[in-house]
A and B are shown apart, each in its own frame.
Chain A
Amino acid sequence: MDQVDSLLKRPRAYENIDGVGELNIGFMCLSFALLMWLQVHTPEHSIWNRMYMLFIWVGLMLLASYFGSKAFKKHITYPRTGFVKYRTPDSKWPLIAVMVLASVVATVAAAGAVLAARLHWNMVPALPFGLLIAASYAFGFARTVRWKWAVAASILLGSLAIAALPPELTGTLAHGSWATAMFRAESIGSYLLCALLYGAIFLISGGITFWLYLRHTQAPAEEANEPANADVQ
């Protein structure tokens, strides 16, 4: 019975067999870090600090991520290990639950940001993000692949290291910025370091997964997807 249950979970695990999910998240984290850096280090009224720029940036990132992974799957994954179309849930409740959870997470993150600004404390931005991302990673990726627990641990340890950095050090990342009039420089630096750290970790982990995938799968042959038995055709 357990074997049947594990078979039922395999198609979900297949979604990240090539590491594209992690590469996507890594790309997004680094893009956010770049946008944050541009916002902090350009004048207050520059184009990077306009609200619409945030929407354009996020929109472009989502488009690049969506079409990028689609192309990746189409040209690399499907010809090597096959195509899967996932089922859409029969009920809308799982989607609503995810949206409610995302809203709670966003509220907690916003509260963390406000606290960080008020408390002059590196720990506030780095720790909740670290815990949240490590837990989500463990749930989403590490459950199915054992070595990825090391990645979850490195997210957590990296966040702890950022939290433990002296405020003067993290503050240098936002030194001289207009944004320090609104937020503490050390908090901005802490967020920037978190985004860079998570981006780098996800890219490395996704890259290793992709390399292992290429090593363990064969390049497609022309007739690879053809059943041998005429009955199925």
Chain B
Amino acid sequence: MNRQTQTFNELDRVIHEPGRLMIVALLFAVDSCDFLYLQHETEMNKGTLSSHLSRLEEAGYVEVEKTYRGRIPQTLLRLTEDGRKAFQKYRKKLKKAL
């Protein structure tokens, strides 16, 4: 196995999935955002976005907070410290692999 293949294999599989990569990259650039913003930016449907977020939450990369905007429920999402570190590591490794 050459070095490039090895680096690819070492990539974080949770982040490497295109949909989740999009979500993590968007969350990395902000402090927090709501579900609607991610839905608008990623153009995913609610179900797909929710399942990706659940996977990221399971991995401890995303924090979900339920609040209200007036009387309307709002889901706030934030990348955890572990999520930030994992994304930075992922970017470094991807750069190296390419």
**Stretch of A62-70, A78-86, A109-117, A184-192 that contacts chain B:** A78-86
User: Looking at the complex, which one of A14, A78, A232 makes contact with B57 (CB distance below 8 Å)?
Assistant: A232
User: Looking at the complex, which one of A4, A85, A225 makes contact with B75 (CB distance below 8 Å)?
Assistant: A225
**Contact A85 B53, CB 8 Å, known A7-B25, A8-B25, A227-B75:** no
* B-facing residues in A90-142 (Cβ within 8 Å): none
Assess whether B36 is in contact with A228, with CB atoms less than 8 Å apart. Answer: no
**Contact A83 B36, CB 8 Å, known A11-B30, A225-B75:** yes
Query: How long is the Cα–Cα vector from A86 to B51 in the complex, in angstroms?
Result: 25
A46 is an interface residue with CB less than 8 A from chain B: no
Assess whether B30 is in contact with A228, with CB atoms less than 8 Å apart. Answer: no
Assess whether A11 is in contact with B36, with CB atoms less than 8 Å apart. Answer: no
Assess whether A82 is in contact with B39, with CB atoms less than 8 Å apart. Answer: yes
Give the total number of A-B pairs whose CB atoms are below 8 A apart: 112
Assess whether A228 is in contact with B50, with CB atoms less than 8 Å apart. Answer: yes
Query: How long is the Cα–Cα vector from A226 to B72 in the complex, in angstroms?
Result: 9
Query: How long is the Cα–Cα vector from A14 to B61 in the complex, in angstroms?
Result: 23
Assess whether A12 is in contact with B40, with CB atoms less than 8 Å apart. Answer: no
User: Looking at the complex, which one of A81, A86, A231 makes contact with B30 (CB distance below 8 Å)?
Assistant: A86
Residues from chain B with Cβ under 8 Å of A222 in the complex: 72
Residues from chain A with Cβ under 8 Å of B91 in the complex: 1, 4
**Contact A83 B37, CB 8 Å, known A1-B94, A4-B91, A226-B73:** yes
**Contact A225 B54, CB 8 Å, known A1-B94, A8-B25, A10-B41:** no
Q: List 23 A-B contacts (CB under 8 A).
A: A7-B22, A8-B28, A8-B29, A10-B29, A11-B33, A78-B34, A79-B72, A82-B35, A82-B37, A83-B33, A83-B36, A84-B30, A84-B34, A86-B30, A87-B30, A224-B36, A225-B69, A227-B49, A227-B75, A229-B50, A229-B51, A231-B51, A232-B50
Residues of B within 8 A of A (CB): 21-22, 25-26, 28-41, 45-47, 49-51, 53-54, 57, 64, 66, 69, 72-76, 91, 94-95, 98
